[in-house]
Amino acid sequence: MLRALLLENLHPDATEILTAAGIEVINHGGAMDEDELIEALQGVQILGIRSKTHVTARVVANAPDLIAVGAFCIGTNQIDLEAAADRGVAVFNAPFSNTRSVVEIAIADIISLTRRQSEFDKSMHDGVWNKSAVGAHEVRGRTLGIIGYGNIGTQLSVLAENLGMSVVFYDTAEKLALGNARRMSSLDELLQTADVVTLHVDGRPGNAGFFGTRELDRMKRGAILLNLSRGFVVDVEALRDRIQSGHISGAAIDVFPTEPKKRGDTFESPLRGLSNVILTPHTGGSTEEAQEAIGNFVANKLRDYLSTGSTTLSVNLPNLALEKTTGVRRVAHLHRNTPGVLAAVNSTLSAHDTNIEGQLLATRGGLGYVVTDIGADVSPVMVDALRGMDQTVRLRVMD
């Protein structure tokens, strides 16, 4: 029986889907460090994580039974994708399932900060009646600057316009503007234009420290900053200084350079205790609706990969959309993408009197993935021959 290790309190639907597919599921509430994970992955074929557990090259190298990893979140920067691909470990994520949840918390943060709700709330809890309109504004008519105009940025753009905001955006890639949103020619132009700046960039290494002293100083005086993307993107020390000086009037931060491993752990940050600053514990996508959608989406991708070999939306392997086998057996051959591999695979099948019922091939960078349905049982000799090819990364045989 295949075994799955699910970490970080994944939605129960993930367990139900994998269990229904005949997979034994082991649930563990928190994240694991490198050594813990290596030990726990012995004899385990499927790993499910969120953002706290890091699947390093060392983890992959010491988990010989691992076939697939499911990132039950948007980002995959916590996984060494190249190391996983080199060992034939497929990685799947949920790039769209929590988009709406992140957009809604961004809208809530924008309104709350613009109206200085966190300050009024604290005063009331301290027993102080501080009724005042000073520094509180409507969001209607103000300009929202979106940095990173992807799935989240575009949906936020539409909703913000519906609230009466003007929207400008900046993205290094060419993106189609939605509604009346305007593309800025440079990051500086956006920072000098926007009353509210919100970051929605991905986790690529080049974005580390992307938003620091220079960018903060170019923001309009009294502007607001949101970071719901990655913790390493913003220089939080510099942000603290600009909030204390009044250059930045407020901030909402959901992600941090260093985050506790599990619920209940102590949280430390230079941003704690600052006025008109909303801090949330990486919950931008953590609604019950989003977690259910993510649990279903990623678990189904893992199940389909194990049962059919389908790699649709895998972030590190060639993508093939596959249904159930059309033959007696299905042979999935992940290999180094060099000339002549397909011919060698078919020659091996032919040499063992194996008829091909159907075949698909996809490539991605240095990897190729050929899936062949055959009309006979698979002989151990033929499996050994395919597995023994110099280009073979991983060979799987399915019913």
230 is catalytic: yes
How many angstroms separate the Cα of 73 from the Cα of each of 52, 146, 202, 297? 11, 21, 12, 10
What number of other Cβ atoms are within 10 A of residue 287's Cβ? 16
Phi, psi of 151 (to 5 degrees): -60, -45
Three-class DSSP category at 173 = coil
CA 12 to chain centre: 19
Among 242, 282, 303, 333, the one annotated catalytic: 282
Q: How far apart are CA 2 and CA 23, in angstroms?
A: 5
Residue 253's closest CA among 233, 226, 273? 226
Q: How far apart are CA 150 and CA 308, in angstroms?
A: 31
Residue 99's closest CA among 297, 321, 304, 316? 297
Among 115, 142, 200, 230, the one annotated catalytic: 230
Among 24, 36, 161, 259, the one annotated catalytic: 259
Contact 82, 56 (CB under 8 A): no
- Tell the residue number behind the tokens 């970071």, with chain if given: 227
Q: Which residues pair with 110 in a beta bridge?
A: none
Would you name the residues annotated as active-site residues?
230, 259, 282
